[in-house]
Amino acid sequence: MIQFVKLTALTCCHTIAYMPSHTTLLKYLTECNLGSRRKLADAIREGRVQVNGSIAENFKQAIDPAKDHITFDNQPVNRIETTVCLMLNKPAGVITTTSDEIHRKTVLDLIPEQYSSLRLYPVGRLDKDSTGLLLLTNDGQLTYQLTHPKFEHEKEYLVAIKGSLKHSEKQKLQKGIDLSDGKTYPTVIRTLRNRYPFNYSITIHEGRKRQIKRMFEELGHPIFALRRIRMGKLRLGNLKEGEVRELSIAEIDSLL
């Protein structure tokens, strides 16, 4: 069941299926995304972590997350047995990753504070300059079903190019384009009216790196704006750029 999670305690996103019965204290706290390994080790040394009411002995102390009661700065550290799936309208200039070595803005920087302790990961990718519908979840099975090619989930994008496609070029896109990593699957392409700056819609079933941009570049039409508006039956709708909302159970079911 998909639920809104109120963070009345420090939380860890591992389900029973993923959490080992025994682990070390530092590994557990790190997996709960409560800080860097170094900072958490310092916190343990400073006596800020307790196990079953007693100050933790050391960061290698063995614990059983299913049985032991652990606190960090007097706040309980709990597992979450529910999953969360968020829809983000990704703005341009934001990186689709959980961290960046050169400190560029990532999609996790846009997530509301109440979700900050959950180990959310993007479902698939959008290029830095691409915008639109991006899902983030802590459900590995959901991510697998939405990204593996064998499930053939439709993804619809709005495309902005200079000029217009010839009829023969539209046919090539529809039948498949020969790229360096193989021929693309057939697509659906439509001409748009009154959707400035976008003049085409394209629907694909694949998710190769920079696929749509490469397809149009192969025809001599570089894309200067790209926005994803649909995954399966799930539509971006009126969600504003940079905003996030949680998916309902019905929306998750429609995806699967």
The catalytic residue positions are: 127
Distance from C-alpha of 166 to C-alpha of 195, rounded to nearest angstrom: 19
Query: Among residues 155, 139, 152, 164, which one has the least CA distance to residue 216?
Result: 164
Q: Which DSSP string do the residues of 159-173 spell out, in sequence order?
A: EEESS---HHHHHHH
How far out from the chain centre does Cα 1 lie? 19
Q: What is the DSSP string of 15-33?
A: -TTTS-SSEEHHHHHHHTT
Q: Report the 10 Å Cβ neighbour count for 240.
A: 7
For tokens 């749509």, the residue is 212
Q: State the Cα–Cα distance between residues 71 and 46, nearest whole angstrom.
A: 13
